[in-house]
Amino acid sequence: DKKVVLITGCSSGIGLSLAVRLASDPDKTFKVYATMRNLAKKERLLECVKSLHKDTLDILQMDVTVRQSILDARDRVAEKRVDILVCNAGVGLTGPLEVQSLDSMRRILEVNLFGTIQTIQAFLPGMKARGRGRILVTGSTGGLQGLPFNEVYCASKFAIEGACESLAVLLQHFNIHVTLIECGPVNTDFLVNLQRAELGDASLQQVDALTLSLYEKYLRHCGDVFQNAAQDTEDIVKVFLEAIQSASPAFRYFSGGGVPPLTKLKITDPDGSRYIRALSKIMFSAEDQ
């Protein structure tokens, strides 16, 4: 029997790459349900799987913020079970905190936090009843360490850590493995899709000069990091595969191999001051400024 995999957020990025890789598995191990909020965006995925047999991939509509759409997608899984659930959909929000509207902050939590949780809720009873299952969640360095100008995004990803860790403790009694794939910067549409305050925006006119100059440095730093250090989605997919193929997957995998050095600082220096100084230095003290 094929392993039935359902993935959220497959119109681009990590979700798309993972869906393509699993659906084109040479041994046809997987039946993939690639879900996306907006089916009008399915062309890119279809383009990547053109040569595939239809029996390893189906595309379903699913908006993780709409409970009924999750339940409808679940009901359309022909096998009537999902062995591996991948909660991947997510959005970013960048800019000085004082300009973020409550609506835009809510939106991030709706997708990243409640979207992930209510997706898990929908598939949990089935997994518990069968006494097996895998839940993989795309985590982020921003869920392990704070990043200036990303307060709400980090809050959403930190929250995911708490939710998943709590669940993992319980679900081992049901033979259900919860796994976070912690990603650093990845070359995807994430930067295009995120809500980001731009330097010329009217909303930034009220913001003080020091914040704006630090934000400018942040944007430059972020641009450099994505240009020089970002991983490709294929690298991330390999880590997902390692977790999927392991008989007993760990709770956390780090896309770059080990724990990122700055995240380590949080563990070796739990009062937090070294982390805060180190990140500030890295982000804000570039020489040309």
**Would you please indicate which residues are annotated as catalytic (active-site) residues?**
153
Nearest distance, CB of residue 249 and ligand NAD, angstroms: 18
Q: What is the DSSP string of 232-278?
A: PHHHHHHHHHHHHH-SS--SEEETTBS--HHHHHHHHSTTSHHHHHH
**9 contacts ligand NAD (rule: CB under 6 A):** yes
Work out which of 64, 70, 85, 144 binds ligand NAD, going by CB under 6 A.
64
189 in contact with ligand NAD (CB under 6 A): yes
Report if residue 94 touches ligand NAD, rule: CB under 6 A.
no
**Any residues with CB less than 8 A from the CB of 234 and at least 6 apart, and which?**
17, 21
DSSP 135: E
Site for ligand NAD in 120-149 (CB under 6 A): 138, 140
Which strands make up the sheet holding 84-87, listed edge to edge?
A: 57-61, 30-36, 3-7, 84-87, 133-140, 176-183, 252-254
**CA 207 centroid distance within chain:** 30
Interaction of residue 37 with ligand NAD, rule CB under 6 A? yes
Q: Taking the complex as a whole, how short is the minimal distance between the CB of residue 89 and ligand NAD, in angstroms?
A: 3
Compare residues 204 and 262 and give the one whose CB is closer to ligand NAD: 262
Q: Which segments within 14-140 are labelled E, that is strand? A: 30-36, 57-61, 84-87, 93-94, 133-140
- How would you class 227 by CB atoms within 10 Å of its CB: exposed for 0-12, middle for 13-18, buried for 19 or more? exposed
Is residue 179 a contact point for ligand NAD (CB under 6 A)? no
Q: Does 15 bind ligand NAD (CB under 6 A)?
A: yes
Is there binding between residue 115 and ligand NAD (CB under 6 A)?
Answer: yes
Per rule CB under 6 A, is residue 161 in the interface with ligand NAD? no
Q: Does 263 bind ligand NAD (CB under 6 A)?
A: no
In whole angstroms, the minimum distance from the beta carbon of 35 to ligand NAD comes to 7
Count residues near ligand NAD (CB under 6 A): 27
Shortest distance in whole angstroms from residue 114 CB to ligand NAD: 10
Is 113 a binding residue for ligand NAD by CB under 6 A? The answer is: no
Strand 252-254 vs strand 133-140: parallel, antiparallel, or unpaired? unpaired
User: In a 3-state reduction of DSSP, which class is residue 165?
Assistant: helix
Q: What three-state secondary structure class fits 158?
A: helix
Reduced to 3 states (helix: H, G, I; strand: E, B; else coil), residue 36 is strand
The residues that touch ligand NAD, with contacts defined as CB under 6 A, are 8-9, 11-15, 36-37, 63-65, 88-91, 111, 115, 138, 140, 183, 185-186, 188-190, 193
